[in-house]
Amino acid sequence: MTIQFNDETFRDDFTFRNSPEAIKRFPFPFHEDSYMYSVNLEPHVALKRPGSPFEFAFDVDEHYVSEMADRAKVLADDPLRCQSLPHMTLAGWDLVEYIMEAKARDYPDLFELHKDGDRWRWINKPLGIDDTFTFLDESTLPYGPMEYITRQTQGDFALLDQRDDNLWMDAGMVTTQADWSLDFDIGMNFFEWHAPVPKAHEMGIFVRALKFLLNLQQGAPVRRLNWTMTVNPLLDTSPENYHKWGEMKSKLTMDNIGEKQHLRVELQTLFRLPRSNAICFPIRCYLCSFNDLVSVPKWGRRLHRVIRDLPEELAEYKGFIANRPLMIEWLSQYDDGAPTSDGIFPDE
């Protein structure tokens, strides 16, 4: 196989590591030296940048196998991380079809899909899966369609039903989230689940974003990057488990911050699902330690400037206001004041 998969953990002993290649392809989210919300949606088309996380519809990287093992553990402890209201089953099949066709096309050495009418054979070599099932017949799969395919796909998934000129979070697989809960949000509409976000409402961002998404066209997916901060490479920073990870935020020092503090980036994409007319909203989490980030000089300079100048309420909302002075002090060592180039990618 072309990708060497890591054997690593996102809990307890935290053996998660990014290889030098993974650092270079990390989706650094800041295209300039400051950050504010915007409706920063762009077409999710393949970038002519081989190896970038934007190359394919669904990115598979060195963390794939270990991330799927972590998801299985989260689900074993808390089955409510995966829920689908009854009318969303067709959207689940849409997702099965979309992901299987995309992965078989983009990673032919890792995944195969063979169709004989409605009888489909799906081969997932990294996870050792070879299943034959009947498309649109739930009884032929070991789980519901959405759960089946998202146990094999990195990133959280929200399936949004479209009706009454709004979007409704009526199904999802959410085990790698930045402090939000599917069990709490399920059944909510677009404005309800965004209610906690500061500032964006006054800026009219959600009204504009919803209008854009209601007209999202089949065959024309879009993407955006979002970000926050996570101490230790935890995938599961859920409110349900805050008692386990919240206290880790108080253990940072000048000596360990480079290793423990991670920039958490979400590659969020939006696809129109053809059979159900629902919208699929994958939220793919990438983690990178401060040590690894500052190994790219442009990113070290820029991260220092962004964190230093970020509005208070955003640092508060993203949950790192207490550690911000320490972050700025540590990052300032890597900012010599030199200008930075436009865009998110490292300088060649």
- Please say whether the beta carbons of 92 and 144 come within 8 A: yes
Closest distance to another protein from the beta carbon of 213 (Å): 12
Q: 109: part of which helix (H) or strand (E)?
A: none
Closest distance to another protein from the beta carbon of 148 (Å): 18
Binding site for another protein (CB under 8 A): 86-88, 90, 97, 136, 161-164, 211, 215, 217-220, 274-277
For another protein, the closer of residues 109 and 116 by Cβ is 116
Beta strands in the chain (DSSP E): 42-43, 82-84, 111-116, 119-124, 129-134, 156-163, 166-173, 222-231, 261-272, 279-289
121: alpha, beta or left? (left if phi > 0; alpha if psi -120 to 50): beta
For another protein, the closer of residues 138 and 240 by Cβ is 138
For another protein, the closer of residues 91 and 288 by Cβ is 91
Q: Which residue in this structure is represented by tokens 């998404």?
A: 213
Question: H helices within the chain, ranges in order?
Answer: 20-24, 64-77, 89-106, 145-150, 182-185, 190-193, 205-214, 242-245, 257-260, 290-293, 297-309, 312-317, 324-332
Q: Is 151 a catalytic residue?
A: no
- Please say whether the beta carbons of 55 and 47 come within 8 A: yes
CA pair distance 255, 253, nearest whole angstrom = 5
For another protein, the closer of residues 22 and 88 by Cβ is 88
Closest distance to another protein from the beta carbon of 163 (Å): 5
Closest distance to another protein from the beta carbon of 307 (Å): 36
Closest distance to another protein from the beta carbon of 164 (Å): 5
Catalytic residue among 224, 272, 302, 324: 224
Would you call 220 helix, strand, or coil by DSSP? Answer: coil
For another protein, the closer of residues 75 and 90 by Cβ is 90
CA pair distance 309, 74, nearest whole angstrom = 36
What are 288's strand-pairing partners?
263
Q: How many CB atoms lie within 10 A of CB 336?
A: 10
List residues with catalytic annotation. Answer: 224
